[in-house]
Chains A and B, each alone.
Chain A
Amino acid sequence: MQSQETNLQALYEKLLESEEKYRRFVENAADIIYRTDGEGRFIYVNPVGKRIFGYSESEFIGKHYLELFHPDFRNKARQFYATQFFGGQYSSYLEFPAVTKEGKQFWLGQNVQPLMENGQIMGFQAVARDITDRVIAEEEVQKLNAELELRVAERTIQLENANKELEAFSHSVSHDLRAPLLAINGFTQFLSMHLGEKLDDEGKRLLSVIKTNTQTMQHLVSSLLMLSKTNKKELETVTIDMTALAQATYKEIASPEAQQKIILTISPLPQANGDQMLLRQVWSNLLSNAIKFTLAKDECAIVVGGRIEENKNIYFIKDSGAGFDMKDAGKLFGVFSRLHTDDEFEGTGIGLSIVRRVIHRHRGEVWAEGEVGKGATFYFSLPKE
């Protein structure tokens, strides 16, 4: 009997000790911990809760939980908890704007569990944490994202407009330049036909200078027109036998002398999906470049090849011509950018920019490798699909 009492006493002390531990834990927690009765009225709030909300113990106890919510959010919260707990869910998490006694608004993230006894909800206990910093940061991010999207959209419109203007500009320049060109060309021709005999040597030379420059101008204008067409033309995508296209294009553009002098090797090329007319233009420009730069050499060889990679096919044209310095590689594809003078090699400086535009429109890439005096290799890739 004595020992049974001692045991009970010991058990009671242990219980008190355990409750004390638990109380200290709850009272010193950094999070708000509170408990309500079955109707949602507070029966306990820890010191952090009182401090954050600014209510005294007596003000807090008996207050309905919804009074802590921002008025605009109360209906939503009521519905949320009704669905959660009367739907039989054990635990819920809700983030909401709360209001202190002084009317200051802040954000809480709150875990709520129902306290059950014999299958009945007797009350609720909750752990809540101030998440204001995070919510503000998130709002800031959202705001920045929205601003960014707006700015991207604005810039896209600006860019599209600039592109359209540029397009219209190069189109009208190349068209409007043709009218005076025909006149210059025509009258120069008449001058040399009818007055050619009366001109002295210097006069004849001057006339031929005009003619040569008119021709250069004609090339420039028609290349510019071609460039503007490559932008405007709708892509008509078909499957293309690139080996046949490269061969046919070479035969079409290489003069008989060039064909005799140049050793051309075309390995079987991967098929391509693309616009036949535009890709013919690519071959035409790259091959005529290779021919132009190779013919000046004693040994002339052009190799055309390709390979299949995971998502793309790669094609290349390698020549034994004048080559270029790799530090100039970036200038190769720009409009009107030329690495050689007219005395060395003729050209308008538009051919490779047409190549680049066509390939970019096919979502492919262009690049080149070279060494001065040792030839150049031009590559382009096309996506498989």
Chain B
Amino acid sequence: MADQKVNILLVEDNPYHAELTLKALTMHHLNENFVWVKNGEDATDFIFCRGAFASRSIENAPKVVFLDLKLPKKSGLDVLKEIKTDERTKSIPVVILSTSREEKDIIEGNNLGMNGYVVKPDDFEKFSEAIKNIGYYWLVLNQLPKK
């Protein structure tokens, strides 16, 4: 993959949820430079420019990561931990998107330095609204430090 600019990195193993997320972003014109990876391994490879993503540069970080927690191979919390414990990547905003409100996940995510925890509403309209709000906040309103 070329070293293209990335706005949102979506880490999601459920292809239907990935598609719905992209549809919701598209509806609100937030889909530019959107990248989807299906598991935790690919997510950290992408962030740290390893394996299939070796040609990327680590400075070219996504503006925000949407991270599912229940992932194959490497869990969402493990991905979060890797991102947040590395000096080069810890400023990348990571928002957890989960199907459920799990107190222990919220606490652990918080301790690891997550930037948000959002429960995916099971009604699409509400889901789409939530995706719009998160995307708008992190892509448009939020200011990140210059590298």
Q: Which residues on A are within 8 Å of B, measured CB to CB?
A: 175-176, 178-183, 185-190, 218, 221, 225
Contacts and interface: CB of A to CB of B under 8 A. Distances in A.
B17 A179 contact: yes
A187 B124 CA distance: 8
B144 interface: no
A226 to B, nearest CB: 12
B76 to A, nearest CB: 14
B107 interface: no
B100 A175 contact: yes
Given A189-B124, A221-B122, A182 B20 contact: yes
B23 A182 contact: no
Nearest to B14: A179
Contact of A185 (B23, B99, B100, B123): B123
Given A175-B100, A182-B120, A218-B122, A190 B14 contact: no
B20 A186 contact: yes
Interface in B104-147: 120-125, 127
B66 to A, nearest CB: 14
A190 B120 CA distance: 17
A194 to B, nearest CB: 10
B126 to A, nearest CB: 10
Interface in B10-69: 14, 16-17, 20, 23
Nearest to A183: B16
A189 B125 contact: yes
B125 A183 contact: no
Interface residues of B, number: 14
- 3 nearest A-B residue pairs (beta carbon): A186-B124, A183-B16, A186-B20
A94 B87 CA distance: 81
Among B20, B23, B125, max chain A CB count under 10 A is at: B20
A180 B16 CA distance: 8
A180 to B, nearest CB: 8
Among A175, A183, A186, max chain B CB count under 10 A is at: A186
A182 B99 contact: yes
Nearest to B121: A182
Contact of B122 (A178, A187, A188, A190): A178
Contact of B100 (A178, A183, A188, A189): A178
A183 B14 contact: yes
A218 to B, nearest CB: 5
Among B23, B100, B125, max chain A CB count under 10 A is at: B100
Contacts of A180: 16
B13 to A, nearest CB: 10
Contact of B99 (A179, A188, A190): A179
Contacts of B100: 175, 178, 225
B28 to A, nearest CB: 14
Given A175-B100, A178-B99, A179-B99, A218 B17 contact: no
A187 B20 CA distance: 8
Contacts of B121: 182
B124 A185 contact: yes
B124 A175 contact: no
A222 to B, nearest CB: 8
15 contacts: A175-B100, A178-B122, A179-B14, A180-B16, A181-B122, A182-B120, A182-B123, A182-B127, A183-B17, A185-B123, A185-B124, A186-B20, A188-B124, A189-B125, A225-B100
Contacts of B16: 180, 182-183, 186-187
A190 B99 CA distance: 20
Contacts of B17: 179, 182-183
Contacts of B23: 186, 190
A290 B124 CA distance: 31
B12 to A, nearest CB: 10
Nearest to A217: B122
Given A183-B17, A187-B16, 8 more contacts: A175-B100, A178-B99, A182-B120, A182-B121, A183-B20, A185-B123, A186-B23, A189-B125
Contacts of A178: 99-100, 120, 122
A186 B121 CA distance: 11
A189 B99 CA distance: 19
A175 B100 CA distance: 6
B72 to A, nearest CB: 14
Contacts of B99: 175-176, 178-179, 182
A83 B90 CA distance: 80
Nearest to A225: B100
Contacts of B20: 182-183, 186-187
A179 B122 CA distance: 7
Among B14, B100, B120, B122, max chain A CB count under 10 A is at: B122
